[in-house]
Amino acid sequence: MIARIWHGVVPEEKANEYSEYLMRAWISDLKKDKGSKGVYVFRRQDAGKTHFRVISLWDSYDSIKRFAGEDYQLARYNPEDKDYLLELEKYVTHYDVVFSPEQMVSQGFVH
């Protein structure tokens, strides 16, 4: 499994609206792709800004390319993102998932 990690920052006053937008515009798209294995969305307030970190899980790089395009390391944006984000970060990061919650349970580490 592969984790695709994106980061974005919005003004604090737009945080709730952006959360709803993320669900509508992005998370719903992720759910449609059969290669998508789940998503976590985190947010943190800091000095008048809200940081979002989205970690989507994928079964292969081919699945990621189907979602993000051939240059899969580039962040993917919709035109509406410019209404919220203070900056459009160019890249995402990818990590191979070494341990997942399911593996932890099957190995008896989590009950």
Would 43 be classed as within a structural domain?
A: yes
Would 85 be classed as within a structural domain?
A: yes
Residue 27 has pLDDT above 90, yes or no: no
Give me the residues paired with residue 15 across strands. none
We report the CATH number of the domain holding residue 56 as 3.30.70.100
Give me the residues paired with residue 10 across strands. 50
Query: What domain range is 94 assigned to?
Result: 2-106
Would 111 be classed as within a structural domain?
A: no
Would 53 be classed as within a structural domain?
A: yes
Over residues 74-92, the pLDDT tens digits come to 999 999 999 999 999 999 9
Residue 103 has pLDDT above 80, yes or no: no
Would 17 be classed as within a structural domain?
A: yes
Number of domains forming the structure of the chain = 1
- Tokens matching residue 33: 């792709």
**CA angle (66, 18, 11) in 5-degree steps:** 125
pTM comes to: 0.88
Over residues 30-59, the pLDDT tens digits come to 878 889 998 999 999 999 999 999 999 999
Would 54 be classed as within a structural domain?
A: yes
